[in-house]
């Protein structure tokens, strides 16, 4: 078989396996750290349950992904995951799912690895979202997941630091409601409500208008002007408050 004939067969097979995000749909990409439990236990020296440097690198990675060729509207990070909202009119890579996944996973993995000088890998999934209401539901869902996991993590490490084995701590936490977990922390002198917001609710990244002085060379005067800058919000509201915050960004 000639080269041209082989190539035509191979290209046809590739095209048959392609999946696309259909026109008119928003694109949400969620990246998760692959094997990060082992990474954080064996290779990185981190504070438990939350490490400030690790959290900052996750935020920096999310910010970096805003500049990888996609029209990103909003980013959200909590724990070892990042969610990105890509504009519904974005045509990068013709909206091919495999390209979106592979490029963003590669970009995130490379950037994150450079920060810690260790091999760190992200996996990636792409989701089609047809309307704004579902966008709000998605990000509120991820924030609720952050809240629940954060509360459990604080309970687990509080017990571990007070003589419980891993099995004992896990067993005790599994039986508790959210109110019970808050009460457990309070018994050890920890008020969960006063802990840093980014640990409980995650961090939102978006372009924010800021007023900056500039110079008009025609009039030789200093003038104020609005410019957009990428901003990381570490004091996110919860539930209804977070939903209203998102509406302002998405409109």
Task: Say what the pTM is.
Answer: 0.89
DSSP 22: P
pLDDT of 81 > 90? The answer is yes
What is the mean pLDDT of the segment spanning 143-170? 97
Give CA–CA dist 242/155, Å, rounded.
25
List for the chain the helix, strand, coil content (%; round to 5).
50, 25, 25
User: Residue 186, Cα to own-chain centre: how many angstroms?
Assistant: 29
CA distance 26 to 149: 27
What is the rounded average pLDDT for all residues in the chain? 93
Residue 220, pLDDT > 90, answer no
Which pLDDT does position 11 carry in this prediction? Answer: 74
Q: How many CA atoms lie within 13 A of 243 on its CB side?
A: 11
**Which helix (H) or strand (E) segment is 222 a member of?**
strand 221-233
The structure tokens listed for 172 are: 């005790």
Q: Please give the structure tokens belonging to residue 210.
A: 């800021």
Q: What is the pLDDT of residue 14?
A: 64
- What integer pLDDT is reported at residue 222 of this predicted model? 74
Q: What sections of 85-131 are H helices per DSSP?
A: 97-116
Closest CA to 120 of 32, 33, 54: 33
Q: CA 10, CA 12: separation in Å to the nearest integer? A: 5
């Amino acid at each position: 078989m000639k080269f041209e004939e082989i190539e035509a067969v191979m290209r046809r097979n590739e095209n048959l396996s392609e999946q696309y995000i259909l026109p008119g749909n928003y694109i949400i990409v969620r990246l998760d750290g692959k094997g990060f439990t082992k990474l954080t236990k064996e290779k990185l020296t981190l504070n438990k349950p939350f490490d400030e440097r690790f959290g900052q690198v996750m935020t920096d990675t999310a910010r970096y992904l805003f500049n990888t060729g996609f029209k990103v509207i909003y980013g959200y990070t909590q724990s070892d995951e990042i969610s990105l909202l890509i504009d519904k009119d974005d045509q990068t890579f013709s909206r091919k799912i495999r390209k979106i996944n592979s490029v963003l996973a590669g970009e995130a993995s490379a950037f994150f690895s450079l920060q810690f000088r260790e091999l760190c890998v992200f996996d990636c999934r792409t989701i089609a979202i047809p309307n704004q209401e579902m966008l709000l539901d998605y990000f509120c869902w991820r924030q609720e997941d952050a809240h629940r996991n954060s509360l459990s993590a604080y309970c687990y490490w509080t017990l571990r630091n007070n003589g419980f084995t891993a099995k004992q701590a896990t067993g005790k936490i599994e039986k508790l409601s959210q109110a019970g977990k808050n009460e457990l922390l309070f018994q050890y002198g920890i008020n969960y409500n006063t802990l840093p917001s980014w640990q409980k609710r995650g961090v939102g990244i978006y372009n924010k208008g800021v007023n900056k002085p500039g110079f008009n060379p025609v009039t030789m005067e200093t003038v104020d002007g609005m410019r957009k800058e990428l901003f990381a919000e570490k004091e996110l509201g919860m539930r209804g408050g977070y939903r209203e915050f998102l509406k302002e960004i998405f409109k």
